[in-house]
């Protein structure tokens, strides 16, 4: 820390993103990226933008916003494209939270929420997940605080039905409820269709997972026009050109090729179910994931050891060293070939431990 660093950030503990190693080629299952490249349409369209890079991007994201609105069945005024959904979430904490308007979220959920609170001076309450890692929605009924719920949740992968989330939204009419749907395309119910009925509901989604664009940084928020206007006030006060020309074009091209991406999602879901079955056969405990990752506990091997042993065999997964989940690892779903390499590595580790052939 330099002697100039502002005291307002002195206690800030930044979010730690998953590793993006350069030194060795890993089977990379640690940051929930899609294993499939974007469709070819995207490359053509993005290339057309290169000669135009001397010009700023459209701050209103008109074309992309129109396509997104049509895709989601809402109006353009209900959508705000952002630099990854992290930015949409940050805008929401900035716009709706402060010392008097706290946020509530699960104790085991996306690790960026407390960081967004800390940097924006937002107080927060962590509500423990139940013993089986499910979110106890009764804990959120009428609590009179802003709420953020990841659905499906991360890193557990567990999804809640829309009807139950609607009850949380309806029971907190004077607070904003943010539903973070980063993983919704892999088999959960979206709350987007509820935004016309609730002026306190904000939904965020991303192109990073289901649409193979993690490296382009594109996400969006959906909500009533007034909530989106508040987010726009924050956006125009920080970075009006938050989505660059190439990314905007890439996002629009992805929506034009929706069939390709949704087929990939189905493939990933099928691979996830295959990996889950194989891991259960090996004695692993797993949550019921509706995402592009599994959250699993190995029999007789600690989470940290399993992470290290997999890494030594060239497979990178994510281990969170947090009290209730330290025995678990989060494993992103790659191609069937990648997952067979992962399963081979797991069998090898268990064999070495037990001295028997699994």
Residues that bind ligand PMP (CB under 6 A): 84-86, 110, 150, 154, 180, 182, 206, 208, 214, 219
Rama region for 236: left / alpha / beta (φ>0; ψ in -120 to 50; rest): alpha
Minimum gap (Å) between residue 175 Cβ and ligand PMP: 20
Contacts of 263 (CB under 8 A, 6+ apart): none
Q: Which of 110, 314, 108, 279 is nearest to 206 (CA)?
A: 110
Answer whether the bond into residue 155 is a cis peptide, omega within 30°.
Answer: yes
Q: Report in angstroms how near the CB of residue 180 gets to ligand PMP at its nearest.
A: 5
Q: Which residue is nearest to ligand PMP (CB)?
A: 84
Closer residue to ligand PMP (CB): 184 or 339: 184
93 or 346, CB closer to ligand PMP? 93
In the complex, the smallest distance separating the C-beta of residue 350 from ligand PMP, rounded to whole angstroms, is 28
Residue closer to ligand PMP (CB basis): 115 or 150: 150
Q: Which is nearer to ligand PMP, 87 or 309 (CB)?
A: 87
* Region at 247 (left for phi over 0; alpha for psi -120 to 50; beta for the rest): alpha
Which residues partner with 331 through β-bridges? 294
- 31 vs 302, beta carbon nearer ligand PMP: 31
Residue 56 three-state SS? coil
Nearer to ligand PMP, 104 or 346 (CB): 104
Residue 271 exposed, middle or buried by CB count within 10 Å (0-12, 13-18, 19+) = buried
Q: Report the C-alpha gap between 283 and 293 in whole angstroms.
A: 18
The DSSP secondary-structure symbol of 7 reads G
Tell the smallest beta-carbon distance from residue 265 to ligand PMP (Å): 16
Q: What minimum distance in Å lies between the beta carbon of 218 and ligand PMP?
A: 7
Shortest CB 310 distance to ligand PMP, Å:
20
**CA-based end-to-end distance of the chain:** 50
């Amino acid at each position: 820390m330099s002697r100039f660093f502002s005291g307002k950030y002195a206690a800030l503990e930044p979010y730690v993103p998953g590793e993006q190693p350069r030194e060795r080629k890993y089977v990379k299952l640690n940051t929930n990226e899609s294993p499939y490249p974007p469709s070819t349409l995207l490359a053509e369209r993005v290339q057309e933008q290169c000669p135009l890079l001397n010009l700023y991007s459209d701050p209103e994201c008109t074309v992309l916003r129109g396509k997104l609105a049509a895709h989601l069945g809402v109006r353009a005024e209900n959508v705000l494209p952002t630099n990854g959904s992290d930015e949409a979430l940050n805008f929401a904490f900035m716009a709706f939270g402060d010392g008097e308007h706290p946020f509530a979220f699960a104790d085991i959920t996306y690790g960026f929420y407390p960081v967004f609170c800390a940097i924006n001076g937002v107080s927060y309450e962590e509500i423990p997940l139940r013993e089986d890692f499910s979110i106890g929605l009764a804990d959120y009924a009428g609590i009179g605080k802003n709420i953020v719920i990841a659905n499906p949740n991360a890193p557990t992968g567990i999804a809640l039905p829309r009807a139950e989330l609607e009850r949380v939204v309806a029971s907190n009419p004077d607070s904003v409820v943010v539903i973070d749907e980063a993983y919704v395309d892999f088999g959960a119910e979206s709350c987007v269709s509820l935004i016309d009925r609730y002026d306190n509901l904000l939904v965020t989604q991303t192109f990073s997972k289901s649409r193979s664009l993690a490296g382009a940084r594109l996400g969006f928020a959906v909500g009533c026009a007034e909530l989106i206007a508040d987010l726009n006030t924050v956006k125009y006060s920080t970075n009006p050109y938050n989505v660059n020309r190439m990314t905007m074009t890439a996002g629009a091209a992805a929506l034009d090729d929706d069939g390709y991406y949704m087929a990939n999602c189905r493939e990933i879901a099928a691979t996830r179910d295959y990996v889950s079955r194989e891991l259960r056969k090996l004695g692993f405990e797993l949550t019921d994931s509706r995402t592009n990752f599994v959250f699993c506990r190995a029999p007789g091997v600690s989470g940290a050891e399993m992470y290290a042993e997999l890494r030594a065999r060239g497979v990178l997964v994510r281990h969170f060293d947090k009290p209730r989940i330290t025995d678990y690892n989060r494993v992103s779903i790659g191609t069937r070939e990648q997952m067979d390499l992962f399963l081979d590595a797991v069998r090898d580790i268990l064999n070495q431990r037990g001295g028997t052939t699994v």
